[in-house]
Amino acid sequence: MGLTGGIGAGKSTVAKTLIDQGAYHVDADRIAREVVEPGTPGLAQLVEAFGPEILDADGALNRPALAARAFVDDESRKTLNGITHPLIGARTQELTDAAPDDAVILHDVPLLVEGHMAPFYHVVAVVHADADLRFERLTTLRGMDADDARARIAAQATDDQRRAVADIWLDNSGTPDALAAQALDVWTNRLIPLRDNVSARRAVELPTDVQDYDPEWAALGARLVNRVWALVGANATAVAHVGATATPGTAAAPVIDIEVTATGDVADALAAGGFPQTAPGIHVSADPARFARVTIRV
């Protein structure tokens, strides 16, 4: 699962709740610090690119000094990302590969939306709080400078951008206990059943009752198209949301139909990614809260 949210939204409360339940935590912020610690190849590459002035008196990375040099223009930013992103990616994969076979892996990624990473997770959870409330928390609870808090909030993804990728929307306009209760419900009623279904290659039962058109079908269809592309892209020429739920105004059973035009074998990738095979050329979602069917056209 990918977990994200704007600065000050309360993501750490959700992460702690899930970790307490047994989630295997992969923290992107921690990894980003780890790969540039003193003595690492990452720090040596940064010094070579931006000069020894980015180090403090103890030889550790001086982040404000690095920012002053790395964010002056697009070329410098690309240089920074070119050094750090591969290192972060490799360490993330290393930690993910080390997870137990039955683990619910929790990727805690503040910039998941900005990094266009959502399609690579079985599900994405977004912790939400309005910008004004986040500003208040940052300035009163964390003691952050007001201008800095506004700048950080403005630099991140918008609420609409987060909604577009969210399979799970956790509202943190209330108390930490209320947010933790939401996270616990997600763990019990969605993440554990999803893990078990994916492991057993077991699909959910799709509903058949017809209902009025729901505008959310289009958003869910777009997310699933991106998810399936991430799974089968190397062996497919097209992935599309088709059928009744893709037709605005049409009543239908609430099942998102995705059609894949395949050039190679995609069955194993779909099954591992949460869409086990139920019949030749047919895969159905293993997610108990997301009804979808993938049809393979060769």
* Three-state SS at 61: strand
Q: Which sign does the torsion angle of CA 81, 83, 87, 90 carry?
A: positive
Handedness of CA 160, 162, 168, 174 (dihedral sign): negative
Q: What residues form the annotated binding site for ATP?
A: 8-13
* CA pair distance 144, 156, nearest whole angstrom: 17
Least Cα distance to 15 among 96, 94, 107, 114 occurs for 107
Which residues sit in the known binding site? Answer: 8-13
Helices 176-186 and 11-21 meet at what angle, rounded to 10? Answer: 50
Quote the strand ranges of the chain, DSSP E. 2-5, 24-27, 105-108, 124-128, 168-171, 236-242, 256-262, 277-279, 282-284, 292-297
**Distance, C-alpha 239 to centroid of its chain:** 21
Q: Are 36 and 43 in contact (CB under 8 A)?
A: yes
| Nearest CA-CA partner of 214 in 252, 166, 257 | 252
- Token code pair at residue 260: 């894949």
